[in-house]
Amino acid sequence: KQEVTQIPAALSVPEGENLVLNCSFTDSAIYNLQWFRQDPGKGLTSLLLIQSSQREQTSGRLNASLDKSSGRSTLYIAASQPGDSATYLCAVGLGYSTLTFGKGTMLLVSP
Amino acid sequence: GAVVSQHPSWVICKSGTSVKIECRSLDFQATTMFWYRQFPKQSLMLMATSNEGSKATYEQGVEKDKFLINHASLTLSTLTVTSAHPEDSSFYICSAPHTRTGGTDTQYFGPGTRLTVL
C-alpha cells in the first residue's frame, strides 16, 4: 500500500526566505506526482504536476523535483511571501486519477 | 480553466438525519468523479469513485449503504450521508479529472463541504 509522508509537518519562516518542503513515498511505481495548496477551510489548488518520466516542473517561484527511484519529491519556494501561507499537500498518482495524499506541511510566512 | 463546484459549502444537521452534497463540473464533462474526506490535520482520504451510469466503487472500510453516491449525469455527482452521526463530521471534497490540451490529465477539486453533525 502506497504511503506518502511530508516533512516538516509545520514550518514558520520570515518573508523573503527560500524554503524546501519534502515528500516521500513508499512505492516508486507511480503515474505522476502533484503538489497542491490548501487554504484553511477551502478546497485544493493544483500547483505543479510532474509526470513519472519527468524530473522537475517550474511555475513562477515554485519548483518541484521528482526522484522516482528514491521515492522523493521536493517543492522549492523562492522568496517566500505572506500570501504563500497555506498547507501544501503532496499527492502521488497511482493510476488514472487515483491520488494518495500526504498529511501536508502547514506553512506560515510572517511579514 | 476547469471548475468544480460543491454545494452546500457547509451544513449543520442533527444526528440521524441525511445530508446530500452535490459536486458539479461546470465547464467540462466528467464520467468519473472522486469523493474524499478530510479530518482536521489529516490527509485527504479517498472514499469512493463515482462513475456516470454505473455503481460507485468504494474504498476499503467505507460503508456504501451509509455513503450513497449517485452520478446522474456527466456533470453531477451527489454524496448522501445517511443517518449521520457526530463521527461523520468532516470536510468532504470532490474532484474530477480533466485532460488538458496536450494530454495532461489533471484533477480539479471542488471547494469542499464542511459537515457538522450535532
Q: Write the pLDDT tens digit of every residue in B24-53.
A: 999 899 999 999 999 988 889 999 999 998
In angstroms, how far is CA B46 from the centroid of its own chain? Answer: 9
| Min Cα separation B82/chain A (Å) | 23
Phi-psi region of B103 (alpha: psi -120 to 50; beta: other; left: phi over 0): left
- Helix, strand, or coil (residue A96): coil
| pLDDT bracket for residue B102 (50, 70, 90) | low
Are A46 and B107 in contact (CB < 8 Å)? yes
d(CA B70, CA B63): 15
Q: Does A55 reach chain B within 8 Å, measured CB to CB?
A: no
Q: Does B99 reach chain A within 8 Å, measured CB to CB?
A: no
Indicate if the pLDDT at residue B103 is higher than 80: no
| pLDDT bracket for residue B100 (50, 70, 90) | low
Residues B115/B19, Cβ–Cβ less than 8 Å: yes
Q: Which of A30, A94, A99, A105 to mutate to test the interface with B (most CBs of B within 10 A)?
A: A99
pLDDT at B106: 77
Indicate if the pLDDT at residue B88 is higher than 80: yes
Indicate if the pLDDT at residue B105 is higher than 80: no
| Min Cα separation B5/chain A (Å) | 10
If you measure CA to CA, which chain A residue comes closest to B90?
Answer: A41
pLDDT tens digits along A38-97? 998 888 988 999 999 999 999 999 999 999 999 999 999 999 999 999 999 999 988 666
pLDDT tens digits along A98-108? 789 999 999 99
Q: Does A25 reach chain B within 8 Å, measured CB to CB?
A: no
d(CA A67, CA A69): 6
If you measure CA to CA, which chain B residue comes closest to A103?
Answer: B43
Quote the mean pLDDT of chain B: 91
